[in-house]
Chains A and B, each alone.
Chain A
Amino acid sequence: DAGVIQSPRHEVTEMGQEVTLRCKPISGHDYLFWYRQTMMRGLELLIYFNNNVPIDDSGMPEDRFSAKMPNASFSTLKIQPSEPRDSAVYFCASSTGYNEQFFGPGTRLTVL
């Protein structure tokens, strides 16, 4: 059974460019979460969806960040324009209900 899939695994871009991170949750899971991990702030929840609907986006740092979930098997997190302080590891996780969350391998983003 495939776990949560994220792509790309690594992304290096220049300041000002658009970045799109992708996530495929575990089949059958109705909750999808986007997290960001940095040395300074640890793991932070950015946004989460239930049945493809955004429930809480209070963790999204700025209007430069946006997330979509067009269907139950795909979600994107977009940063436009990107800035060096956005450099971090971005994780996607999924769960059934408010139960055990399963994390993907993460996308390591470097903005130069």
Chain B
Amino acid sequence: KQEVTQIPAALSVPEGENLVLNCSFTDSAIYNLQWFRQDPGKGLTSLLLIQSSQREQTSGRLNASLDKSSGRSTLYIAASQPGDSATYLCALLSGSARQLTFGSGTQLTVLP
């Protein structure tokens, strides 16, 4: 059974700092990995999708990497802004049932 871990659970940084969020998983037989953002009381917004055959994806100030051999993914946020404050979730599509398994998230606070 796929297990997804996100560390740290919470992170607070000053505005302008570059930061990295971590996601680790136990089963490397994945189809894809997706990073989401969730604002308080809101739904999930898809940020980036990395297919199993890819190593990274970029969108604006965001860059996500995938290393299946080590069971890790990182989300890099450049020049963080207060508007980036949210909970960031990684999720992996894996297994014969092709289920999306979520980590518990990293709650990010960017201080002005």
* Bitwise interface map of A from 37 to 63 toward B, beta carbon under 8 Å scored 1, else 0: 000001101000000000110110000
Whole-angstrom distance between the alpha carbons of A20 and B103 in the complex?
Answer: 28
Interchain CB contact under 8 A, A101 and B100: yes
Interchain CB contact under 8 A, A42 and B104: yes
Q: Quick check: is B42 within 8 A (CB to CB) of the other chain?
A: yes
List the A side residues contacting B36 at CB < 8 Å: 103
Whole-angstrom distance between the alpha carbons of A96 and B7 in the complex?
Answer: 30
From DSSP, what is the main secondary structure of chain A's interface residues?
Answer: strand
Q: Quick check: is B20 within 8 A (CB to CB) of the other chain?
A: no
From DSSP, what is the main secondary structure of chain B's interface residues?
Answer: strand
**Partner pick for A98 among B42, B91, B98, CB 8 A cutoff:** B98
Q: Quick check: is B25 within 8 A (CB to CB) of the other chain?
A: no
* Bitwise interface map of B from 98 to 112 toward A, beta carbon under 8 Å scored 1, else 0: 111011110000000
List the B side residues contacting A101 at CB < 8 Å: 34, 46, 100
Which single residue of chain A is at the shortest CB-CB distance from B105?
Answer: A42
From 44 to 101 in chain A, residues with beta carbon under 8 angstroms from any chain B beta carbon are 45, 55-56, 58-59, 91, 93, 98-101
Whole-angstrom distance between the alpha carbons of A45 and B99 in the complex?
Answer: 7
A42-B105, A100-B46, A104-B43 are known contacts; what are 13 more A-B pairs with Cβ within 8 Å?
A43-B102, A56-B97, A98-B98, A99-B32, A100-B32, A101-B46, A103-B36, A103-B44, A103-B45, A103-B46, A106-B42, A106-B43, A108-B41
Q: What are 15 A-B residue pairs whose CB atoms fall within 8 Å in the complex? A: A33-B100, A42-B102, A42-B103, A56-B97, A58-B97, A98-B32, A98-B93, A98-B98, A99-B32, A100-B34, A100-B49, A103-B46, A105-B42, A105-B43, A106-B42
